């Protein structure tokens, strides 16, 4: 059965052999081989089986696998679960590390597993709360653990409130400057940063009382309805007086429209410990002529980000998500009449028009029909990526055209991760279908 084509059967057979102590060496080496080199689902099953086999050898092997930075997130999550199964106490340090992983699903999995271990992890999670990279994950874990001691949580909340207020003040200072797109990007990022700290402070205070009500309050604060926000702020006043005084300075964060105040502190902003804030600040100061931006690569990335912000498809993405898209896009230019994509060919990239205009043309009965013209901010070539069919039409440049090109893999992960982008793409596709139907049947 170790040779069965279905990895669920072969990996189960291996665990059964290990349990009864028969053919142990072969079963172990089969599981190790499959866990490291199998297809994704085979790897998953083998790692689960290793969690059940559960000896030090398996633990060491899985810890080694975790070191691979390219490890698919799904495999990383299963490894963490298996480590916890084999040896909960020894797995704690790996789970704590998982709290700081860039992928939210890994952070959530690590937090869930820590919560399952329970009380023994509390101290390590409280230490993780002090580390900027792990604090978000630590809060997730704490929300599922028994009530933590009051003192470190209140201290954490106080520190988060002061960071929130600091970023709010920085934001108001920048708001007093002239407004342009680069300043807009910096303001949005500072506001996000300030709100992020504010929300984390509230979540921490929530840990010491009614967690569900605090979560509901936070959800409402993040909505756009100012009347409801005011109600929540009033409700928060019902907290006990010490905690009320900790969070009181946050209230101005959720005011209707934050007023400009003072002036931009460029020196402080370009030295921020968050590299995204530093880049935004440098870029905004550069645009205002305050500071010369020397790093051309960053300058061009920031210009691209501004461009992507204007593309309706990405309008709802947060600045840091846009940064991801902008970083993966490549610039490609075309001259008049160049064919950008050819009808019938296989396609593995899509283009966003950065400048110029293109014609979408389809052949019908050996005649060319112009289906549409597309301009700055529009995208083309997405259909072949979604349908995996050949290009539905040809697209030709009208004059010089600059595009930003995104490959299939990045486009797919964007659609998977961002439901609002998927929805926007579907809307555009529907319009195009209608348009093409009308033109071709005319
Ligand atoms: P794709 O099929 O990959 O390659 C040709 C592209 O032309 C297609 O993706 C769309 O981006 C674009 N396209 C096809 N039909 C239309 C249409 N009716 N209107 C606008 N663009 C279109």
Query: What's the rounded Cα separation, in Å, for the pair 144 and 165?
Result: 28
Q: Is the pLDDT of residue 23 over 90?
A: no
**321-324-330-336 Cα dihedral, nearest 10 degrees:** 0
Q: Which of 369, 395, 426 to mutate to test the pocket of ligand 1 (most atoms within 8 A of CB)?
A: 395
Pocket test for ligand 1, best of 383, 390, 394, 437 (most atoms within 8 A of CB): 383
pLDDT-derived band at 442 (thresholds 50, 70, 90) equals low
Across all residues in the chain, what is the average pLDDT?
88
Q: Quick check: 70 and 40 in contact, CB under 8 A?
A: no
Distance CA 246, CA 229 (A): 19
Residue with tokens 């691979």: 68
Cβ of residue 435 lying under 6 Å from some atom of ligand 1: yes
Calculate helix-pair angle for 88-98, 73-86, nearest 10 degrees: 150
Note the pLDDT tens digit of each residue in 233-291.
Answer: 777 877 778 888 898 898 888 776 778 888 999 999 999 999 999 999 999 999 988 88
- The finding on whether 425 has its CB within 6 A of some atom of ligand 1 is no
Q: Is 76 in the pocket of ligand 1 (CB under 6 A)?
A: no
How crowded is residue 6: how many other Cβ atoms within 10 Å of its Cβ? 12
Q: Is the pLDDT of residue 64 over 70?
A: yes
CB 143 within 8 A of CB 203: yes
What is the secondary structure of 116-154 as a DSSP string? Answer: HH-GGGHHHHHHHHTSTTTHHHHHHHHHHSSPPPHHHHH
Q: Please, which residues have CB within 8 angstroms of residue 257's CB and are 6 or more apart in sequence?
A: none
Q: 319: Cβ below 6 Å to ligand 1?
A: no
Helix or strand holding residue 396 (H, E): strand 394-407
Angle at 94 between CA 155 and CA 17, to 5 degrees: 150
The DSSP output letter for 253 is G
Atom 5 of ligand 1, residue of closest alpha carbon: 393
CA 436 to ligand 1: nearest atom? 18
Residue 350 Cα: closest atom of ligand 1: 3
- How many angstroms separate the alpha carbon of residue 431 from the centre of ligand 1? 11
The pLDDT, as a whole number, for residue 441 is 67
The pair of structure tokens assigned to 248 is 């009181």
Compare 227 and 368 and report the one with higher pLDDT: 368
Q: Is 40 left (phi over 0), alpha (psi -120 to 50) or beta?
A: alpha
Element (H, E) at 94: helix 88-98
- Reduced 3-state DSSP string for 19-35: HHCCCHHHHHHHHHHHH
Lowest mean pLDDT among 153-167, 193-207, 280-294, 389-403: 280-294
Ligand 1 geometric centre to CA of 181 (Å): 30
- For residue 91, how far is the Cα from the chain centroid? 26
> CA torsion, points 35, 39, 42, 47, in degrees to nearest 10?
30
HSE-CB for 377 with a 13 A CA cutoff: 10
Cα 393 to middle of ligand 1, angstroms: 6
**Phi and psi angles of residue 24, each rounded to the nearest 5 degrees, phi first:** -60, -45
Digit-coded pLDDT (tens) for 102-121: 888 899 999 999 999 999 99
Structure tokens at 288: 């205002």
> Which of the four pLDDT bands, split at 50, 70 and 90, describes residue 174?
very high
pLDDT for 197 equals: 95
Strand partners, 333: 402
Ligand 1 pocket test, pick from 347, 380, 438 with the greatest ligand atom count within 8 Å of Cβ, gives 380
What secondary structure does DSSP assign to 385-396, as a single string?
A: HHH-SPPSSEEE
Three-state DSSP at 437 gives: helix
Taking alpha carbons only, the member of 372, 322, 377 closest to residue 352 is 377
């Amino acid at each position: 059965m170790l040779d069965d084509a279905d990895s669920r059967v072969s990996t189960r057979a291996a665990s059964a052999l290990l349990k009864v102590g028969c053919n142990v060496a072969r079963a172990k080496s089969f599981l190790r081989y499959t866990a490291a080199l199998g297809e994704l689902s085979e790897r998953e099953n083998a790692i689960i089986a290793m969690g059940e086999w559960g000896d030090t050898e398996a633990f060491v092997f899985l810890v080694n696998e975790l070191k691979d930075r390219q490890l698919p997130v799904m495999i990383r999550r299963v490894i963490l679960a298996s480590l916890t199964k084999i040896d909960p106490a020894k797995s704690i340090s790996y789970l704590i590390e998982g709290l700081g992983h860039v992928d939210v699903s890994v952070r959530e999995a690590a937090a869930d597993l820590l919560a399952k271990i329970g009380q023994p992890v509390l101290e390590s999670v409280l230490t993780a709360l002090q580390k900027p990279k792990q604090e978000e994950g630590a809060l997730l874990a704490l929300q599922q653990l028994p009530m933590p001691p009051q003192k470190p949580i209140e201290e954490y909340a106080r520190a988060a409130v002061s960071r929130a207020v600091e970023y709010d003040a920085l934001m108001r200072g920048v708001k007093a400057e002239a407004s342009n797109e680069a300043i807009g990007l910096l303001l949005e990022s500072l506001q996000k940063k300030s709100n992020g700290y504010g929300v984390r402070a509230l979540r921490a205070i929530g840990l010491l009382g009614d967690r569900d009500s605090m979560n509901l309050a936070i959800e409402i604060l993040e909505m756009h309805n100012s009347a409801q926000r005011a109600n929540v702020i009033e409700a928060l006043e019902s907290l006990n007086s010490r905690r009320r005084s900790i969070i009181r300075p946050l209230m101005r964060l959720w005011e209707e429209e934050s007023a400009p105040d003072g002036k931009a502190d460029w020196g402080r902003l370009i030295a921020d410990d968050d590299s995204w804030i530093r880049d935004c600040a440098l870029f905004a100061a550069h645009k205002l002529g305050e500071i010369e931006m020397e790093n051309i690569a960053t300058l061009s990335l920031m210009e691209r980000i501004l461009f992507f912000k204007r593309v309706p498809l990405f309008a709802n993405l947060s600045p840091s998500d846009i940064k991801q898209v902008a970083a993966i896009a490549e610039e490609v230019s075309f001259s008049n009449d160049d064919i950008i994509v050819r009808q019938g060919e296989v396609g593995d990239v899509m283009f966003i028009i950065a400048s110029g205009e293109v014609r979408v043309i389809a052949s019908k009965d050996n005649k060319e029909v112009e289906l549409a013209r597309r301009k700055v901010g529009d995208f083309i070539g997405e259909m072949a990526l979604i349908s995996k069919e050949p290009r539905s039409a040809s697209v030709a440049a009208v004059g010089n055209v600059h595009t930003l090109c995104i490959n299939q893999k990045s486009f797919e992960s964007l659609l998977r991760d961002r439901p609002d982008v998927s929805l926007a793409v579907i809307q555009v596709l529907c319009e195009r279908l209608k348009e093409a139907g009308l033109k071709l049947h005319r």
